[in-house]
Amino acid sequence: AQIQGFFDGPVDHLFAMPLLSEYVADKYGHREMTVVSPDTGRVRSAEQWADALGGREIAFVHKTRNIDAANETVANRVVGEVDGRCCLLIDDMIDTGGSITKAADLLFDSGATEVVIAATHGIFSEPAIERLRASKISEVVVTNTLPIQAEFDRLTVLSIAPLLGKAIKEVFEDGSVTS
């Protein structure tokens, strides 16, 4: 939302969460589920996901920066109930997969029976695919906002074409893109 101020013309932020949450609800909605934020900064997003999935529990991974290594975090503990539950680990993007796989490992160590990852953007820089393949996660769900070159058996890529189509239709019919 903050980047809209850098443009002279009108800008609308399109959200992939409805597309992703519908997929998750259809496939995993019957399970006892906790929506998990990979850090404290995305707790509000976890709350929105929990509401979209019918009022699920939320949790977050408390992590700190490693002062001895640049750009490295240490996942310390899970705050919230994950024991015996399917955990939906949400994020805006997956780049190298380091943070998200560490968070998934911590969830399993805390008693989660299953971890599903949902993210809008799948960047998948090296060594993301190797990390995700080595993880015990059940599925990684991303959208095709970026060209996805990576392939592995637990990767699901959802098309944003319907979202773009609806936005274009609203623009040309003077409707509400935000809605």
Annotated catalytic residues are: 63
Burial readout 139-166 (b: 16 or more C-beta within 10 A, e: otherwise): bbbbbebeeeebeeeebebbebeebeee
Q: How far apart are CA 45 and CA 90, in angstroms?
A: 8
Let me know how many helices (H) and strands (E) the chain has, helices first. 5, 7
- Output the CA torsion 166→170→173→174 (10° steps): 180
For residue 138, how many other CB atoms are within 10 A of its CB? 16
Kindly list the strands in the beta sheet with 73-79, ordered across the sheet, starting from the edge strand earlier in the chain: 73-79, 57-65, 33-37, 86-94, 114-122, 139-143, 155-158
